[in-house]
Structure 1
Amino acid sequence: MRKKEHKIFLRMYNVSIQDRGRFYLRLLLLHENGPRSFEDLRTVDCVTLPSFQEAAIELGLLETDVEWDRCLEEAVIFRMRAQMRQMFAFIMLYCVPQNCRALWDKFKDDMVIDYPQYNSMERNYNLALNDIDCLLKGHQKCCSDFALPMPVGVLNDIEND
């Protein structure tokens, strides 16, 4: 009697969570038995999802952004806006939330209260994005790496003030 040959992985290399596509693919490969195609990996309960990330979330292999949402909501209570912008940058860098733009959109009004009230809200958002971008640049990243708008013309505005 002959045994069937099975192809197995002998070694899987580590992948940074910053490389999202490969990270989620690796995560699914580690937890799914016998996938025959990439489509099999994205299929959960007979529904083919558009991305590996969504499949991993649906299978409960990843957390959603609820924790980061709660963290920022708590920061709002303490009214420390500069620290809140810093925390937001660190969450993006080290916690890798699923949707940075949604977190920005939800908390941007709270992050700009310490800027002068005579500024327009758009200018204050721009100043906050500049602060966040400066923090990210210290780690060789920028706002656009996290699907946030890039600050525009802030240095000239600050020099004029």
Structure 2
Amino acid sequence: KQGIALRAVAEDEALASSIGVNVKLVHIVSWLITGALAGLAGGLIPLWRYTGLGFNDEFLMLVIAGSVMGGMNNIAGALIGGFLTSTSQKLLGALAIAIFGYEAAAYEPIYPTLLIAAILMFEPEGIMGYFEHTHKPLRDLRNRVDRIRRRVSEVIHAT
């Protein structure tokens, strides 16, 4: 129920408010959850990774890369994009070392950015945007949700 309220507020605040969702409370709860998860990640990441001075920029780029690569419209896209980003960094890094030698290891943080540029050139909405456009079940689901949202909006504005 809370997830549906969160999704409703993310899609259309006025519509969510009109059907009885406490928009302010949803915003507060989502920021609290976000802050708690960020704090947890900030406390746990140094246990597994070296956190030098350049850590923040490199890690932030990976997070943004994963979100953009997968698509900003849904969580599944961000998860797929995150997996592809981290995997591409290591695989492309190993491939570059095999081809160009160990000097190429210094450029490992650049590889996800290059992959993002390549993906976004062909599919501006990310990987999940591609699947929504090419796979009929996903496209039908998206269209059905849009039709329901329009109908609810029409009913609310008519009253």
Q: Is this a same-fold pair by TM over 0.5?
A: no
Q: Work out which structure has the larger RCO, using CA pairs closer than 8 Å and 6 or more positions apart in sequence.
A: 2
* Structure (1/2) with the larger helix percentage: 2
Q: TM-score, normalised by structure 1?
A: 0.31
Q: TM-score, normalised by structure 2?
A: 0.31
